[in-house]
Amino acid sequence: MSGLQETEYILKCTSACAGCSTSLILRHVLAAAGPDTVLVIPACCTSVIQGVYPKTSFRIPVYNVAFAASAAVASGMSAAFEAMGKKTNVIAYAGDGGTVDIGIQALSGALERETNFLYICYDNEAYGNTGMQRSGSTPLGARTTTTPEGKGHKKKDLDRIVAAHSIPYMATACSAYPKDLAGKVEKALATKGPAFIHVLAPCPPGWRYPAEKTIEMGKLAVKTGVWALYERMYETVVISGPTKAAMIKPTPIEEYIKPQGRFKGITPETITTIRLDSERMLRRLAAEEEGSC
């Protein structure tokens, strides 16, 4: 990935798990954002990565706040920097639990108020920091410590919730496609007003696959169409290259599901449901892209 992380804003030897895609995402996000950046994080894996007081593993200021509060804290920070005439990037960086569950109200409020900030949800599809309990973002059929038989409910469609706020820029990304991610972060930060990026963050201990397969797992999510990469500028949808490719020739969904221990015991019917939902999502995106051209 030469040329991507010209400057490292995370020091080496953080307390992230081996194969952690969250810290990988952070490296690309911060490299794209540059030094005039403040990161607001709630309780999530990143608060572990941040390190233990009095040390920090970041070379930019990181404001770690209560679980539900990151979007609102970022709102206040953004307003204060604006009042001072500062151009500092305010990035809220929260996990799926802190976004789709406990933080959704604050996020919705901040988007509706057209807060000038970037909100990134890195989605490892469970409460990772506390040992993989179910979140609203956990997919159907996945085992977590609170869904020992596999989750009986579908993954909450965060992106359509965010899209309903009609914001100037939102995108999805995946840790396995760093150039795509970095480009989207740059666009998001150049946006005046609220920007949002939802990044799939495969998690070796949570999804139960070997640490060295973390990139492969991200690529499989995209290639099978379970996870789609695209951008949305207000109503205009642009589907990103890897997902375009997956729409033409998708990899069978089983190749993504089978290597993950969290899907152990999943029924063929559930796999079919996941596949049909993914196909429906891709069809909808394609229609939206066509409609917005």
Partner 1 sequence: MLTISTGNNAVAAAVRRVKPAVVAAYPITPQTEIVEQIANYVADGSLDTRYIPVESEHSAMAACIGASITGSRTFTATSSHGLLYMNEMVNWAAGARLPIVMANVNRALGPGWNVWAEHTDSLQARDTGWLQIYVSTVQEAYDAVVMAFRIAEDRRVYLPVMVNLDGFTLSHITQQLYVSDIDGFIPPMELDHRISPDDPHGYGCMTGPQDYFRIRYDIERSMRESYAVIQETEKAFADRFSRSYGFTDEYRCEDADVLVITLGTLGKEAEVAVDMLRDEGIAAGSMRIRWFRPFPPLDTRDRELVVIDRDYSFGCGGILADAIRAQTKRDCFSVIAGIGGQEVTYRDIAGFVRDRRIGEEYWFGVDA
Q: With contact defined as beta carbons under 8 Å apart, do 202 and 216 qualify?
A: no
Q: Does 63 bind partner 1 (CB under 8 A)?
A: yes
Residue 111: count other Cβ atoms within 10 Å of its Cβ. Answer: 24
Kindly tell me which of 11 and 245 has the beta carbon lying closer to partner 1: 11
Q: Please select the residue that binds partner 1; options are 26, 106, 185, 197, rule is CB under 8 A.
A: 106
Measured between alpha carbons, how far is 247 from 222 in angstroms, rounded to an integer? 10
Q: Does 131 bind partner 1 (CB under 8 A)?
A: no
Q: With contact defined as beta carbons under 8 Å apart, do 143 and 150 qualify?
A: yes
- The CA angle 73-76-81, to the nearest 5 degrees, is 125
Kindly tell me which of 33 and 181 has the beta carbon lying closer to partner 1: 33
Kindly tell me which of 90 and 266 has the beta carbon lying closer to partner 1: 90
Q: Does 64 bind partner 1 (CB under 8 A)?
A: yes
Q: Does 47 bind partner 1 (CB under 8 A)?
A: yes
Residue 162 CB contacts under 8 Å (≥ 6 apart), including other chains:
107, 111, 170, 196, 198
Q: Please select the residue that binds partner 1; options are 7, 11, 18, 61, rule is CB under 8 A.
A: 61
Kindly tell me which of 83 and 248 has the beta carbon lying closer to partner 1: 83
Report the DSSP pairing between strands 230-233 and 236-239. Answer: antiparallel
Q: Does 116 bind partner 1 (CB under 8 A)?
A: no
Q: With contact defined as beta carbons under 8 Å apart, do 191 and 168 qualify?
A: yes
Q: Does 164 bind partner 1 (CB under 8 A)?
A: no
In the chain, the amino acid numbered 41 is I
Q: Does 36 bind partner 1 (CB under 8 A)?
A: yes
| Stretch of residues binding partner 1 (CB under 8 A), selected from 43-51, 144-152, 243-251, 280-288 | 43-51
Measured between alpha carbons, how far is 103 from 71 in angstroms, rounded to an integer? 7
Chain residues that interact with partner 1, rule: CB under 8 A:
35-38, 40, 47-48, 50-66, 68-69, 71-84, 88, 105-106, 108-110, 112-113
